[in-house]
């Protein structure tokens, strides 16, 4: 909605509310720099953080240092420093995973936003930022009452490469540009830096303080839990430099360079034979080329995995040395607590290696204000229980669910139903009455409501049958009752799909079909109903529902994923026309035959010689149930490209570089080359241009609409994607009126791809930009 386009105004409003709250009575966490220890230089906030951190490290014993290398960092009593728990989770709200969070104090619940894959389907940067900001506020508020840490290991920005992956639900989907955009917005929001500078009107401040610390995970090429003989603990992801550069790495690069994340988590798996946490190449790239400033954490027990599962290291001490030398800073787990001292005694690790790691760790704690004295007197000291589960946050959770739900099918404009009719409704399916709609990495929601609860507010009477006793649906014992209530209701909603007993961490799927006998349940209920039925699909992973897509008795299909605590209300609002759906799928929905593709094959590009169809919309050449970006509305839309250049001219220069100018006519001979290397282009940013687009709502209903601009390559160049998303914009449209938007196109980024050496190349010739069914050609030439 429109208010989401004005995030600066909202942040100022929310933060002003936080500042006026009176202090509450609750237990506050212990903190460093209290008398008699406040005289130490590391407590002097007038000194640079680097100076304070170096001073602190100089006062530590070897034992002190080793005991800081675990997620459960020990207290340092002789300096008055309390223990600290690094591991808290906040993927889409403060979660119960990990030891850092508890709901046993004055805060009993926290806002449960939709699972990330659903929020990604909104294609709304402002929404992503505001979700992150709200989660950060609640995280800091819970820290202030001793119920959370300040380092939250989120977001998960791995590319959703394979539809069977159990954790794909946690990600922003399959497109690396979307993954990067999500990472940037969520991290900026949760860390609070952008929001606080806006509130304080201090845009030029060099203060790099953090509300909480975000951690982009899992670096890198991690997207397999368990498939056949492979598990995430022993899997060696064999990835080409080409695929690393233009698929797997961009979300992490954006997270670091634009999002300014203060943490990166290295993954369990090996990458090309080297454990990610022990890879000097990977971790060195992050710090030395991307400019990462923060700490690098291992996934939990990933250091032990280097020795115990992968057998990469010959001993436990070698494993410790390998990860520290590579640039990892902290181990989630106890492995380094137990083996670092002996690694030093054996000469495999030097104390300076520990100092380097500790500098990164303490620097982030300094930025969090943990060494600034009494936290109640700090920038965020007034945040408390009153700032968790606020009306504003619950409203935002509802808005996120509304925006992320995707209308997949709506034959004959069956939806929306008219709420004035006060009809009778039957709702069928094992997920219909559960209020656990958050998916993986959820906490305790503020105001959980089921789909049944949401729909019953809009109908005269409502009846329910589970049909299947659980989502696995191994029995048809409940079919008869479901069919009976379907026969008697005016309208029928069938809820089918997945839950976290079938897809989650450590659990991948083996099939893309609806589980068990669900397909039979849907078909039999549809055949018995008076009118065509509405199918609602839950779960984060793609489903082969081709049977429903082709069945005329199933007239409408909605994907709600894991919509969070407000999902029931959001679904009801869409079905009864109070909200016009505009979500778009952030991942391809493949047919069941895709399960023949080996899950351990990390290749993105299609290879016809071995029958390999490729992966994601950018490279997949096979059939699909629904494509990336698919999503219907109750309105129809038309587009016009109002302005965009038709030609980019790159002129050769004497130093081997190229310069660019926009020309309307060309009267020179073109050099015989088909591409240029992006790193040869001078001032690459100057190539950027805006594509101005007019969007006309030609329907009868106002509503949001997501404009998606794609590019296609001039010809079939080896290794080039089938198409590539340039940018997107979510707009609020008015019936029978037009609205304009602009999408920035950066040819060096959006028109390029990686060659086999991992170097980005920019093809020459005609590049086709398309929005909907409208195309615009931009020709790139060298003179």
Residues involved in catalysis: 299
Give the helix/strand (H/E) hosting 743: strand 738-745
Report yes or no: 537 and 497 within 8 Å, Cβ to Cβ: yes
Q: Are 695 and 730 in contact (CB under 8 A)?
A: no
Contact assessment for residue 166 and residue 499, using Cβ atoms and an 8 Å cutoff: no
Residue 556 has φ and ψ, to the nearest 5°, of -135, 140
Spell out the residues 6+ positions from residue 746 whose beta carbon is closer than 8 angstroms to its own.
Answer: 684, 685, 687, 688
CA–centroid distance for 711 within its chain: 23
Contact 715, 739 (CB under 8 A): no
Contact between 264 and 777 under an 8 Å Cβ cutoff? The reply is: no
Q: How many CB atoms lie within 10 A of CB 368?
A: 25
Residue 466's φ and ψ, nearest 5 degrees, are: -75, -25
Percent helix, strand, coil in the chain (nearest 5)? 35, 20, 45
Give the C-alpha separation, 614 to 54, whole Å: 49
Cβ within 8 Å of residue 288, ≥6 positions away = none
Q: How many CA atoms lie within 13 A of 679 on its CB side?
A: 5
Angle at 222 between CA 217 and CA 224, to 5 degrees: 130
Spatial strand order of the sheet with 658-662 comes to 658-662, 647-652, 774-782, 765-771, 703-712, 724-733
Token reading at 695:
């969007």
Provide the total of helices (H) and of strands (E) in the chain, helices listed first: 22, 29
φ, ψ dihedrals at 534, nearest 5°: -105, 125
Six-digit token pair at 635? 């309105």
- Asked if residues 150 and 141 have their Cβ atoms less than 8 Å apart, the reply is no
| CB count in 10 Å sphere of residue 738 | 15
Q: Compute how many other C-beta atoms are within 10 angstroms of the C-beta atom of residue 34.
A: 13
β-pair partners for 308: none
Query: Could you tell me whether strands 274-275 and 270-271 are parallel, antiparallel, or unpaired per DSSP bridges?
Result: antiparallel
| Start-to-end Cα distance in the chain | 47
Residue 245 to residue 754: CA distance in whole angstroms: 6
Q: In what order do the strands lie in the sheet with 760-763?
A: 675-677, 760-763, 753-754
Could you tell me if 130 and 396 are in contact, meaning their C-beta atoms sit under 8 angstroms apart?
A: yes
Q: Using the 8-state DSSP alphabet, how is residue 301 labeled?
A: T
Per-residue b or e along 633-662, where b marks 16 or more CB atoms closer than 10 Å to that residue's CB: bbbebebebeebbebbbbeeeeeeebebee
């Amino acid at each position: 909605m429109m208010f989401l386009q004005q995030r600066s105004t909202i942040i100022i409003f929310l933060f002003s509310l936080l500042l006026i709250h009176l202090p509450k009575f609750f237990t506050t966490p212990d903190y460093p720099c209290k008398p008699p220890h406040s005289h130490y230089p590391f407590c002097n906030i007038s000194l640079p953080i680097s100076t304070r951190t170096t001073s602190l490290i100089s006062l530590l014993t070897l034992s002190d240092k080793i005991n800081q290398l675990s997620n459960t960092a020990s207290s340092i009593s002789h300096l008055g420093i309390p223990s600290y728990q690094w591991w808290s989770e906040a993927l889409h709200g403060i979660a119960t995973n990990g030891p850092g969070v508890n709901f046993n104090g004055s805060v009993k619940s926290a806002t449960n936003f939709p699972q990330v894959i659903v929020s990604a389907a909104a294609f709304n940067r402002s929404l992503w930022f505001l979700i992150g900001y709200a989660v950060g506020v609640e995280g800091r508020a819970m820290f202030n009452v001793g119920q959370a840490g300040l380092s939250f290991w989120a977001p998960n920005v791995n590319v959703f490469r394979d539809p069977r992956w159990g954790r794909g639900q946690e990600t922003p989907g399959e497109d690396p540009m979307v993954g990067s955009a999500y990472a940037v917005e969520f991290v900026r929001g949760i860390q609070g830096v952008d929001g606080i500078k806006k509130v304080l009107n201090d845009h030029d401040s060099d203060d790099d303080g953090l509300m909480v610390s975000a951690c982009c995970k899992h670096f890198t090429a991690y997207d397999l839990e368990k498939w056949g003989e492979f598990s995430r603990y022993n899997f060696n992801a064999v990835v080409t430099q080409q695929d690393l550069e233009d698929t797997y790495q961009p979300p992490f690069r954006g997270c670091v360079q634009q999002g300014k994340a203060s943490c990166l988590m290295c993954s369990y798996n090996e990458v090309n034979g080297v454990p990610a946490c022990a890879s000097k190449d990977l971790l060195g790239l992050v710090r030395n080329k991307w400019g990462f400033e923060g700490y690098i954490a291992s996934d939990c027990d990933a250091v032990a995995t280097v020795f115990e599962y992968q057998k990469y290291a010959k001993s436990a001490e070698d494993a410790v040395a390998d990860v520290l030398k590579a640039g990892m800073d902290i181990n989630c787990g106890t492995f380094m607590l137990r083996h670092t001292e002996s690694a030093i005694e054996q000469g495999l690790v030097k104390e300076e290696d520990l100092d380097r790691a500790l500098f990164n760790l303490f620097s982030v704690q300094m930025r969090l204000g943990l060494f600034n004295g009494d936290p109640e007197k700090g920038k965020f000291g007034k945040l408390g229980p009153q700032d968790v589960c606020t009306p504003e946050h619950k409203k935002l959770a509802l808005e996120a669910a509304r925006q992320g739900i995707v209308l997949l099918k709506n034959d004959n404009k069956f939806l929306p139903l008219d709420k004035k009719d006060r009809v009778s409704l039957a709702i069928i399916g094992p997920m219909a009455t559960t209020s656990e709609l958050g998916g993986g990495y959820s906490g305790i929601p503020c105001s959980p409501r089921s789909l049944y609860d949401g729909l019953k507010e809009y109908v005269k009477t409502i009846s329910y049958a589970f049909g299947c006793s659980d989502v696995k649906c191994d029995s048809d014992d409940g079919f008869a009752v479901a069919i009976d209530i379907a026969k008697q209701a005016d309208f029928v909603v069938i809820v089918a799909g997945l839950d976290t007993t079938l897809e989650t961490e450590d659990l991948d799927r083996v099939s893309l079909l609806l589980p068990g006998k669900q397909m039979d349940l849907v078909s039999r209920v549809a055949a018995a109903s008076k009118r065509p039925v509405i199918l609602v699909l839950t779960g984060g992973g793609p489903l082969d529902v081709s049977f429903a897509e082709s069945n005329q008795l199933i007239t409408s299909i909605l994907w709600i994923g894991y919509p969070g605590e407000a999902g029931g209300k959001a679904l009801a609002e869409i079905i009864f026309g109070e909200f016009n759906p505009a979500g778009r799928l952030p991942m391809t929905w493949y047919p069941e035959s895709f399960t023949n593709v080996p899950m351990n094959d990390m290749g993105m590009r299609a290879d016809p010689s071995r029958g390999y169809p490729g992966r994601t919309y950018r490279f997949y050449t096979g059939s699909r149930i629904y494509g990336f970006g698919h999503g219907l509305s109750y309105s129809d839309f038309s587009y016009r490209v109002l302005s965009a250049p038709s030609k980019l001219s790159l002129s050769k220069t004497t130093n081997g570089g190229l310069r660019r100018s926009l020309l309307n006519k060309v009267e020179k001979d073109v050099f015989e080359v088909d591409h240029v290397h992006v790193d040869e282009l001078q001032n690459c940013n100057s190539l950027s241009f805006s594509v101005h687009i007019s969007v006309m709502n030609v329907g009868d209903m106002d509503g949001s609409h997501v404009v998606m601009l794609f590019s296609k390559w001039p010809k079939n160049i080896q290794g080039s994607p089938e198409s590539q998303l340039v940018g997107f914009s979510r707009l609020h449209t008015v019936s029978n009126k037009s609205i304009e938007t602009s999408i920035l196109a950066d040819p060096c980024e959006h028109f390029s791809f990686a060659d086999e050496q991992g170097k980005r190349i920019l093809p020459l010739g005609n590049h086709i930009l398309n929005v909907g069914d409208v195309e615009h050609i931009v020709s790139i030439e060298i003179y």
